[in-house]
Structures are given as C-alpha cells and as structure tokens.
Amino acid sequence: MHLSFLLSALCAATVSVFTLSSCREKAEPKPEADQQNHGRPGLVTPDDIYCPEGYSYDLTFNQCYSAAGVIGPFSISMIQKCKAFGGGEPCDGLHWERGFAQQLRGKELCSEGTEWNTKLNVCADGEHVYGPFLKTQYNDCVAAKGGDACETMRWSRLFFESLGKPDNDEGRSAPVGDSPFDFRSPYNSEISSVRSAWATYYFIPTFRDAGDSGYPLLDMAGRRLGASLQAKDWCHASLEGSVRVLGNDGKSIVFNYVGSHEESLQVDCSRWISLPGLGYSRFYRAKGSFGDGVAGYVLQPYRTIAVDPGWLPYGTLVYIPSARGAQVILADGSVHFHDGYFFTADTGGALYGNHIDVFIGSADKNPFKFVGSARSKTFELFVVQNPKIKESLTRLHSAQ
C-alpha cells in the first residue's frame, strides 16, 4: 500500500491519536523561533543541522525532506505504528510521504519511542540514535568511515557513542588521520568558562613588489626594508598589520606592522580607507611565514585569534562549537573540516572586550558562519583546559 493512500485512510478513520484539524489541507507551517531546541540552548541553529544533498530541513517537524519524501530510517515506534495501520512493506522504506511522516512523528523534538539524551545531545532509544544530526556529527561519522549510513537518520547508538572519543592522550579524534584539525570536542570537565563573543576576521594580503615606483616599507628608524608597494597596497598592508610581498624572482617575504611614526606621514590612505593613522605605519621583517602575532607567537591560518588581552589572556586555548565542521582550505590546497579550537596569539587596536578577530591566512573568503562582523551577532566561546591540545597549539604558534 502506498503511504500517501494510507494517510488518506488514516484521516478517514476515527483514530484517537489524530485530530480532524490535522488532516485538513493547510499551508506549509511557519517555523517558530522557540521550536528548535536541538542540543544546548542558544548554541545550535537550523544552519547547523545536516541534511543530505537535495534535502531541506523542516524546523517544525525536525525532519529532512525532498521531492521523494521524508528520509529515514524512522524510529522503531513509528514503523510499528505504520504497520499497525496496514502500511506493510513501505513502512520499512527509506522514504515516507511527507504528510504521513508528519502525522506519525508530531512536532516534538524527539519522535515517539525516543527521548532526548542530555549526555549524547541527540534523540535516542535503547539501540539507536536518530537525526537529523548536526553537521559536526555527520563529519565525525564520515571520518569514522560510517559510509552511506551517515546520510541516514538512524545510527547505531554504540557507533555514535564511539565518535569523537580520544584514542591517545593528546585528545585527538579517532581515527587520527592526516588532518591538522583532528582534535576531539572538549569534555564538560575541561571547560573552565563559557563566554559570549562577536567576531571579525583578518588575513595577510599578498602584493607584487613595486620597486622604485612604489612606497618603501620602512622600519621605526626610517630604514628601508627592501620592498616597496603601490600606495593602495601599502595602505591595505597597514590596515591588516602584515603583508606578503612577491619579488621578481618569485620568492616572497612577509612584513609585519611594528608601530607608527607619528611625525612622518608616508602615504595618504584616506582615498581608500577612512581610518586615521594608517599612513604613519612602520614595519619589520616577520619570523612567521604568515606573519607574527604578539608575545613571540607567529600567526597560523584558521587557528590564531586576536583578542583584547584584558578580556582573554594571550596563550589561551578556546573552543568555538559553531566552528566545528566548517570546511577550510589550506595554502597547499588541501581541504579539512575544522575541529573548533583556536589560540589567542595576536591583538589589534580596534579590539575591545568580547570582540575577537579570526586570522584566515591568505584565503579570500571567510569560512566561519559565527563570524558576523557585528557586535549584535554573538556566539558562545569556551575557555578550555586541556594541556595536550594547548601544548600542541602553543608549539604550532612558536617561531621555528
């Protein structure tokens, strides 16, 4: 029996679990802001939910759907109820007609026969956990070689519980793999504080050496550092605080902002950037291949964050849950999924209080959705106490 026919039969029958009003034709329900309670309140948004390619997320009924219908497998209780109404073999199928699936599931966060597991942060019964899952959980499933099952809505509970568990004392996820972003998410006992922050991002611009036609990069004593830039490029280098200059031989040198010589205006930047003081900048040759931070640290793409040290001290390990699972592309072209960890190794003149600045290297696009570039667009940031992960990121930020 086709499930769409079964839905009509259900609506015609006098079954106490369905009301007549729920069987009437009605417009697509509008999501309500308070209906999404997937995981920790205020931490997860619908954009964090994973639905397979070609599917959309239904916030009201917490399901992934497409033209083929709602994707399963579904909870054991829902399948049993489907069969009790004469659905037969289609009840075990991967797709149900959308209206029928909504009737059996209801609008609760977890479907009948399952409940929210606060330890696992997912709907579960005795043997299974149920989606839609978070994108981070999906990525962990793929990394653990879960195969096609990762695209479905029902996983083995034992398999799910194994995801993200460390297989060594460095806190790395299992399996370790070759990714530099493979640390497991922090345990509750490792989180020392939770803070609300807002973020911008910065990068290292790359420009061609302008030679004699450009404006030379000078140190604080006014000495030439061996590279020159066109006026606009010079001003953007001053704004970002670091610059990679390509020579005619194809080699590059990185320079960092070191301070301002307030008595000697070198470039009038007002034509391109309305920020006082840029034209007085002085530089030095950096130690790091992406530039230098503060306190002897060097910058690392997708790991370094610049902070107000009065709000968050340098050398602090932080975890941003909404960064976990973001796709990042390194300079060598390799693609990785971010593990959510960052390290405070830089600062900036415009950073005050809970404003952080995320360094993305030489990338031309910000990959992190939590970076809203507005004070009103806040997110949660965890201060983490994990000596092994902190040691690893400290070493990464140390000059070689």
| Phi, psi angle pair for 24, to nearest 5° | -70, 155
Distance, CA of 254 to CA of 283 (rounded, Å) = 10
pLDDT for 400 equals: 61
Select 188-202+296-396's CATH number: 2.40.40, 1.10.150, 2.60.40, 1.25.10. Answer: 2.40.40
For residue 337, give the nearest of 194, 177, 171, 191 by alpha carbon: 177
Q: How far is CA 110 from CA 105, 116, 137, 160, in A?
A: 8, 6, 17, 17
pLDDT for 256 equals: 93
For residue 316, give the nearest of 350, 347, 342 by alpha carbon: 342
pLDDT for 167 equals: 42
pLDDT for 214 equals: 95
Burial class (CB in 10 A: 0-12, 13-18, 19+), 173: buried
Binned average pLDDT, 10 residues per bin, the chain of 400 residues: 44 33 36 38 69 91 92 90 86 90 86 85 88 88 82 87 57 53 86 95 94 95 95 93 90 92 90 87 94 94 97 97 90 88 93 96 91 95 94 90
pLDDT for 165 equals: 53
pLDDT for 246 equals: 93
Q: Domain limits of the chain?
A: 3-160, 188-202+296-396, 206-285
Q: Global pTM?
A: 0.57
Burial class (CB in 10 A: 0-12, 13-18, 19+), 112: middle
